[in-house]
Amino acid sequence: MATMVRLLQQTDKAIETVYNRKNDAEIERLQEYQAAVKIQSWFRGTRTRAYLRHLNNCATEVQRKWRGFLGRKFYRIFVKNQTLVMKLNHYNAMATKIQKTWRGYYVRKYVYNYYSRKRYLEALQIKNEIIRSELEEYAEQQEQRRRRQQMMEEKKKQEYEARKNHYLISTHVIPGIFSSPFQPYPSEYEYILRSVKPLQHKKKNMNGNRYDPAWQSYESPRPRQLPPLPQKPQGPFRDPEEVQKQRYKPFQPTLRVATSINALDEARQKMKDEEWVTRLNDNIFEPFTKKYYPYEPLLHATSKFGHLPYGTKYYREESIDKHVTHKPFRTLVPPIPIFDKLNDTYSQGQV
Amino acid sequence: MSQRQVLQVFEQYQKARTQFVQTVAELSSRPQNIETLQNAGVMSLLRPLLLDIVPTIQQTAALALGRLANYNDDLAEAVVKGDILPQLVYSLAEQNRFYKKAAAFVLRAVAKHSPQLAQSVVDCGALDALVICLEEFDPGVKEAAAWALGYIARHNAELAQAVVDAGAVPLLVLCIQEPELSLKRIAASALSDICKHSPELAQTVVDAGAIAHLAQMILNPDAKLKRQVFSALSQISKHSVDLAEMVVEAEIFPAVLTCLKDFDEYVKKNVATLIREIAKHTPELSQLIVNAGGVAAVIDYIGESKGNVRLPGIMMLGYVAAHSENLAMAVIVSKGVVQLAIALSEEPEDHIQAAAAWALGQIGRHTPEHAKAVAVANVLPKLLQCYLRADASEDLQTKSKKALKNILQKCVHLPALEPLLHDAPPNVLKHVVGQFSKVLPHDSKARRVFVTSGGLKKIQEIKAEPGSALAEYINTINNCYPEEIVKYYSPGYSDALLERVDQYLPKA
């Protein structure tokens, strides 16, 4: 009991302690609560953030992988294109180089070949010299010819003068004015006078008043009398115009006369000739393995029907009913044209 | 009255008529009588005489009419208005050769004055009658008819076409082949008149085979014939390349060159015209002429002749040089530039100078080498002079300016350009300075010479608008030199120096 009592004695103390504790707890309680909330919030926050970070990391990973994939894909395409372009540029550059070289070579060799051009110009100069000298020569010749002509003309003129003045020649007895007795020799003109004959007197035109205003080349036919009047011949004649027309009527051959006698043959020959021209080979083509040709007997000799008796036994056609046509064939040679006219009742006035 | 007495009356009348007509014909051959004759009413009196029963009177009347109509176009018109032409045309077909000749003379005299008169001759049906006359045996008649046809055809293309349509061309070609020189001459002249109008007409003449016969007569000694032949050939070849080639194919080429040495001026001129007409078409034809030595011959001919005669030669050189640089070089090595320069300075006439300037421009415009060849012949100052001369025609000015520009744009031969710096107007100076600005940056010797010859000084004196091409060129030139040198040569530099002396304070 003692214990009980002791315990009871201590009850107040215990209560007080409990009370104090409770008070203390009550005082700390909010703080603790808040601390707990903070801790919890921190923890939850951390956890959520970690989770989110995890998600983000995952997304980044996915994106990274995907973008890497795409990037590599596009990069490959890009590199491919780039290579292509590079190659193309390179090839173009190379082609340009080749073309450049070739064109330069070609132009220098064939179009503007410096040496050939130089040669050409030199040759041209030589040619020019030749032409110049030739022309010079030609001009010289022309000049000479002209001078000669002029001289001849002058001489002729002089001669004519001398002939006109021939009466001034000196005679045996009386010296002329051109041979002065006071000089040792007669003058030049005197010799010329001696060398020519005197001019003859012109024959008078006995025709009277022949008049020729412009055309000196002809003498106009002067009618002695008035020209006769044109008249129609008397009598029962046809009009002269009509007669003339009939007389000079152009020749009108018949078609048969106009065509050649062997026109058919000619046409045939022409056709054959044309065929011959267009044929490629005259020899009939035979395969070279065929060496021997079978003997082909004449159709005429081997006919099982025998010879045609026409011309030996008979001369007229026996089996008329077998003919293709009953009309006679056209003759090859046309008949004599005069026979054509036999049936005409009148002459057509042809000569 | 006996029969004789009756006839005597007629005889007297006939004599009187004859005498009248003869006197009138004689009087009308002198120009001073014509007015009096006209006032006396000669036309109306001659007209009935054309229908006279006596052939001599008819002929002489026609002759008198022809002389009157030949005198001036009023009288020719009077002939047309007097309805004389139909009579003439009618009798042209009927009468004897003397009358035909006289009638053709009248037609020719009427047709020569104007296209209208020629048209009236055509309208009265003269062409057919004249063409029939061309078939006549007598060469005199053919000559008169060909002459009349030529005079009709020369006016315009329609009349020429009418002549062609009348079928005159083949007969004229036949006439060329006749032995008579005068007939040949006139037929060739008529052909030339026909084909000068259009390519079609020329083609008609060519189709009639005229070229071969004309080409045969090139070496004929008769100068007047040669004139007409060359005129006809050049009229044919002027139209198209084909026609020119046909003329060339007649193998005229070395032969025509000899005719450049002919005595007759007109032969020379016509030959040069022919060569020009052929050369102008294509480079190939020009090349052919050059290879035949034609350029040398033409150049000699330019040197020997004067005035208008040398004009076609000058133009021919221009045409040849215009085709390609090779041909231009051929002209240069044939010493063409010198002759052209002489022609440019010697000739007093503007149009010949213009042609020479044009030809020089064509030669010099190809490469620097060509331009140099032209420039060393001392052509540029002359061209400049032609351009600047106060009394120069507009054509000469434009041609010489164009030539100058063409040559200057290619010229890198600086000594020849120097003189132009001093006396060229701004629009030419631009090109000169441009050439300097192209050459100087790359040539140190030229830079030196440019300074010593005073060119740089001159350049500094030029007042160029800032921003213009000229200013740019000047700037390029200035950039080739050190700044002091440029400053030294700029105007006003001495003043600037003196100013500096004034402002300078000596250090104590």
Nearest CB among B63, B101, B300 relative to A213 is that of B63
Shortest Cα–Cα distance, B135 to chain A (Å): 20
Residue A136 belongs to a domain: no
pLDDT, one tens digit per residue, over B52-107 is 888 888 889 989 999 999 988 888 888 888 888 888 888 887 778 888 898 999 99
pLDDT, one tens digit per residue, over B4-25 is 888 889 889 989 999 999 999 9
In this structure, what are the phi and psi dihedrals at residue A310, rounded to the nearest 5 degrees? -65, 130
Residue A139 belongs to a domain: no
Is B140 within 8 Å of A215 when comparing Cβ atoms? yes
CB A337 within 8 A of CB A254: yes
Shortest Cα–Cα distance, A75 to chain B (Å): 49
| pLDDT at res. B359 | 95
Written as one string, the DSSP assignment of B40-107 is: TTHHHHHHHHHT-SSHHHHHHHHHHHHHHHHH-HHHHHHHHHTTHHHHHHHHHHHS-HHHHHHHHHHH
Contacts of B272 (CB under 8 A, 6+ apart): B260, B298, B301, B309, B310, B312, B313, B316
Closest-approach residue (CA) in chain B for A130: B293
Is A142 within 8 Å of B261 when comparing Cβ atoms? yes
- ipTM above threshold 0.95: no
CB B114 within 8 A of CB B69: no
Nearest CB among B25, B258, B297 relative to A213 is that of B25
Closest-approach residue (CA) in chain A for B26: A213
pLDDT, one tens digit per residue, over A90-147 is 999 999 999 999 999 998 888 888 888 899 999 999 999 999 999 999 999 999 999 9
Residue A192 belongs to a domain: yes
For residue B466, pLDDT over 90 is answered with no
| pLDDT at res. B311 | 94
pLDDT, one tens digit per residue, over A139-151 is 999 999 999 999 9
For residue A69, pLDDT over 70 is answered with yes
List beta partners, residue B187.
Answer: none
Shortest Cα–Cα distance, A103 to chain B (Å): 19
Which pLDDT band, with edges at 50, 70 and 90, does A303 fall under? low
Written as one string, the DSSP assignment of A2-21 is: HHHHHHHHHHHHHHHHHHHH
Shortest Cα–Cα distance, A121 to chain B (Å): 7
Angle, alpha carbons A163-A165-A166 (nearest 5°): 60
| pLDDT at res. B401 | 92
Is A131 within 8 Å of B297 when comparing Cβ atoms? yes
pLDDT, averaged across chain B: 91
3-state helix, strand, coil in chain A (%, to 5): 60, 0, 40
- Average pLDDT of the residues in B177-190: 94
Length of chain B: 508
Name the residue range of residue A183's domain. Answer: 165-198
- Measured CA to CA, the distance from residue B181 to residue B189 in angstroms comes to 12
Shortest Cα–Cα distance, A341 to chain B (Å): 41
| pLDDT at res. A217 | 45
Which chain A residues contact residue B325 at CB under 8 A?
none
- Measured CA to CA, the distance from residue B384 to residue B393 in angstroms comes to 14
Residue A177 belongs to a domain: yes
Residue A29 belongs to a domain: no
Is B334 within 8 Å of A125 when comparing Cβ atoms? yes
| pLDDT at res. A244 | 84
Residue A98 belongs to a domain: no
Is B300 within 8 Å of A124 when comparing Cβ atoms? no
Is B297 within 8 Å of A132 when comparing Cβ atoms? yes
Nearest CB among B101, B293, B333 relative to A130 is that of B293
Is B296 within 8 Å of A139 when comparing Cβ atoms? no
Which pLDDT band, with edges at 50, 70 and 90, does B1 fall under? low
Domains of chain B: 13-166 (1.25.10.10), 432-485 (no CATH)
Is A226 within 8 Å of B14 when comparing Cβ atoms? yes
Is B258 within 8 Å of A135 when comparing Cβ atoms? yes
Residue A184 belongs to a domain: yes
Which pLDDT band, with edges at 50, 70 and 90, does A346 fall under? low
- Average pLDDT of the residues in B255-260: 91
Residue A87 belongs to a domain: no
| pLDDT at res. A351 | 45
Shortest Cα–Cα distance, B258 to chain A (Å): 6
| pLDDT at res. B508 | 67
Chain B residues within 8 angstroms (CB to CB) of chain A = 7, 10-11, 14, 18, 22, 25-26, 53-56, 59-60, 63, 98, 101, 140, 257-258, 260-263, 290-293, 295-297, 300, 326, 329-330, 333-334
Is B293 within 8 Å of A220 when comparing Cβ atoms? no
**Number of domains observed in the structure of chain A:** 1
pLDDT, one tens digit per residue, over A219-268 is 445 556 666 655 666 777 788 788 888 888 888 878 877 888 888 999 99
List beta partners, residue A314.
Answer: A310
Top pLDDT among A345 and A296 is at A296
Helix B115-123, helix B157-165: angle, nearest 10: 20
- Measured CA to CA, the distance from residue B152 to residue B114 in angstroms comes to 9
List beta partners, residue B444.
Answer: none
Q: Enter the tokens of residue B475.
A: 């700037």
pLDDT, one tens digit per residue, over B352-361 is 999 999 999 9
Chain A residues within 8 angstroms (CB to CB) of chain B = 117, 120-121, 124-125, 127-132, 134-135, 138-139, 142, 146, 211, 213-215, 217-218, 220-223, 225-227
- Measured CA to CA, the distance from residue B271 to residue B233 in angstroms comes to 9
Is B63 within 8 Å of A214 when comparing Cβ atoms? yes
Which pLDDT band, with edges at 50, 70 and 90, does A218 fall under? very low
In this structure, what are the phi and psi dihedrals at residue A314, rounded to the nearest 5 degrees? -140, 165
pLDDT, one tens digit per residue, over B206-240 is 999 999 999 999 988 899 999 999 999 999 999 99
- Average pLDDT of the residues in B436-458: 89
Which pLDDT band, with edges at 50, 70 and 90, does B339 fall under? very high
